[in-house]
């Protein structure tokens, strides 16, 4: 009779959790992609701002907006990770 060795217990890991903060993070990261992929919404010349057609300045505005949204997502992620680590140690 040979006894099979028992498998070591799996390390305890928390399953992924969908929280409101994580939904906001996802929306912050997805919004620029949706805005840029929906070309029909900005494929026009009018209104012109300081001589720049809408098509171009709309995309330039999204560069700044995307940066801000990515920064917000990063800060929210950091806060979420600190809260999870703090809650796990208690």
- Tell me the pLDDT tens digit for each residue of 4-52: 777 676 666 666 788 899 999 999 999 999 999 999 999 999 999 999 9
| pLDDT in the model for residue 85 | 86
pLDDT of 3 higher than 80: no
Q: For residue 66, which phi and psi values (nearest 5 degrees)?
A: -65, -40
Residues 26 and 48: their CA atoms lie apart, in Å, by 32
Query: pTM here?
Result: 0.74
Exposed (0-12), middle (13-18) or buried (19+): which is 73, by Cβ within 10 Å? buried
pLDDT of residue 6: 77
How confident is the model over 44-78, as pLDDT tens digits? 999 999 999 999 999 999 999 999 999 999 999 99
Domain boundaries, the chain: 20-88
DSSP of 1-56, one letter per residue? -PPPPPPPPPPP-PPP---HHHHHHHHHHHHHHHHHH-GGGT-S-PSPBTTB-HHH
């Amino acid at each position: 009779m040979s006894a099979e060795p028992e498998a070591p217990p799996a390390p305890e890991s928390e399953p992924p959790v969908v929280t409101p903060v994580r939904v906001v993070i996802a929306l912050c990261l997805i919004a620029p992609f949706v805005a840029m992929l929906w070309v029909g919404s900005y494929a026009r010349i009018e209104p012109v701002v300081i001589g720049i057609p809408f098509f171009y300045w709309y995309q330039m505005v999204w560069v700044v907006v995307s940066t801000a949204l990515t920064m917000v997502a990063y800060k929210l992620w950091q806060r979420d990770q600190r809260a999870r680590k703090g809650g796990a140690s208690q």
